[in-house]
Homo-oligomer: A and B are copies of this chain.
Amino acid sequence: MPRLGGIEAGGTKFVCAAGRGPEDAEFTEFPTGAPEETIAQAVEFFRGREPVEAVGIASFGPIDRRPESPTYGYITSTPKSRWRNTDLAGTVCRALGVRVAFDTDVNAAAVAEWRWGSARGLHSFVYVTIGTGIGGGAVIDGRLLHGRMHSEMGHIRIPRDRVRDPFPGNCPYHGDCLEGVASAPAIEARWGKPAHLIPDGHAAWALEADYLALGIVSWACTLSLERVVLGGGVMQRGELFPKIRERVAQLLNGYLEPPDIVAAELGRRAGVLGAIALAADRLRTFGLAPHGSELGQLGSDEPASAASPEFK
C-alpha cells in the first residue's frame, strides 16, 4: 500500500493524517477557521513531510460529489456560512498536485470501520455516529452507498410519545427528526445538562435507546443489514448497547433477524483513517496501486468518463 494522505474536514476541527493506516499514520489536528487559512494549514501538513500519492477528504456536508457537476468537490449548502460553496477538494488537489478522493465524514468513517474496525469482512452494514448530530454511512452489497447525493440518515422521522417526552426537538429543519431528539445537543436541551453529566440508569438513557432503536429498525428494513456500527460521543455510554439491542429485537418481533449492534472500534480517528482508505481506492480506480495490494472494494459510482476530475 502506498503512502497516502487523509483530511477530515469537520465543522469545529480539521484532522490530517499521512501514512498507510492505523499502524503507521502520523496525525495532526487544528481548529476549523476561515476556509482559506484552514485549507492552507492542511496543505502545509503534507508539504512538510514525505510525499503522499493521493489524498482523501472526509468532509462535513452537504457536499457535491457528482463528478459531472461544476461544483464537484465543493462543500455546498452548509449552515456554516463561511464554508458555503467552498471548493475544498479542488483547492487541495491543485495545491498538492495529487489525486483527491472526496466523500462525507460519515461515509469515510464507515469505510475505515469496514477496513480496520468493527465491520471487517461484511457486505452490508451501516456506521452511524451519534454526537453533535446523527449521521450514517452505509456499505451495501460490498459497495459504499451514495445514491443521488449521500445518505442523511439522522433526518428520518420516528414515532414519538409526547407524554413521555414533550421535548419538541431541536433540528433547525425538521424539529423532531431523529437527530432533533437523540443527538447530544438534543439530550442536553431536554434534560438541562450535557449527556456526560447525566448518571447511569437515568431515564434519559432508556429514551435514547428507544429512539435509536426506532432509527435502526427503519435503516434495517430499508437496507437489509448484517450489522449496525454505532460511534460518536453519545455511544460512549455503554449501557445504551444492551438497551438498544433489546428494543430492536422487540420492534422487529421476529419478522426480520435483527442486525448485530456493536460499538465502533476506531473512535475519533475513524474519519481521517477513512479518508486514507478513500485515497487508496482513488489510486486503485486509476490502476496506479502497487500490484497485489489489497486496497478494498470501495465501489466508486463515478462513470468512467468522469473518473479523472481535474479540479480546474
Q: A residues bordering B, Cβ < 8 Å?
A: 123-124, 136, 138, 140-143, 145-160, 173-174, 176, 214, 217-219, 221-226, 251-257, 259, 299, 301
Contact = CB atoms under 8 A, between A and B. Distances in A.
Contacts of A176: 159
Contacts of A253: 173-174
B224 A156 contact: no
Contact of A141 (B146, B226, B255): B146
Closest A-B pairs by Cβ, 4 of them: A147-B224, A141-B301, A124-B147, A173-B255
A155 B223 CA distance: 12
A158 B218 CA distance: 9
A218 B219 CA distance: 8
Given A159-B157, A159-B158, A159-B160, A148 B226 contact: yes
Contacts of A257: 148-149
A217 B173 CA distance: 13
Contacts of A299: 141
A151 B218 CA distance: 10
Q: What's the number of copies of this chain in the assembled complex?
A: 2
A221 B156 contact: yes
Contacts of A151: 221-224
Contact of A222 (B141, B146, B219, B259): B219
Contact of A224 (B149, B154, B157, B225): B149
A225 to B, nearest CB: 6
Nearest to A126: B222
Contacts of A155: 217, 221, 255-256
A119 to B, nearest CB: 13
B255 A156 contact: no
B224 A152 contact: yes
Given A151-B223, A218-B222, 15 more contacts: A140-B140, A141-B147, A142-B301, A149-B224, A150-B224, A151-B222, A151-B224, A152-B256, A153-B221, A153-B222, A157-B159, A157-B251, A173-B254, A174-B255, A223-B223
B152 A141 contact: no
Interface centre among A136, A140, A252 (most CB of B within 10 A): A140
Contact of A223 (B173, B222, B226): B222
Contacts of A148: 123-124, 224-226, 257, 259
B143 A214 contact: no
Contacts of A223: 145, 147, 151, 222-223
Contacts of A158: 157-159
Nearest to A226: B148
A246 B299 CA distance: 35
